[in-house]
Structure 1
Amino acid sequence: VVALRSGLEFCILNNLLPVILEIDSFTIKQILDGIWEVPCNMACEIKMISRLRDHRDVEMSIH
């Protein structure tokens, strides 16, 4: 989750949008899409990723 946030921040700061975030975790995708609850140990990172995704052209896919 930390690497995902860092990569998204880098893309936004360097105006590399639109961006597709390719992740290999079905769990993280479900959490970020608001389908599953956020575990306490990931809450801060998930909130930051969600804020970064808001109103930006960011797509997420699972591989």
Structure 2
Amino acid sequence: MGLMIIFSLIVILAAFGIIRSLREKNLLAILFSTGIFLVLGWFTIMTIWKHGFPTAH
């Protein structure tokens, strides 16, 4: 479950990257940030849905 937490942090950073690249009008950065956001975001959502949110032991 630690991998899911890391992926969710990357998704949050990708969201900030999308906003920043839209402001700078950087098309390649928009493409990569959106791809990372969609792929890892979908993986994170499906992992939480199937296995639940990780709890502290």
TM-score relative to the length of structure 2:
0.36
User: Which entry has the higher C-alpha Rg, 1 or 2?
Assistant: 2
Which has the bigger relative contact order, CA under 8 A and spacing at least 6? Answer: 1
Structure with greater helix share of residues: 2
TM-score when scaled to structure 1?
0.34
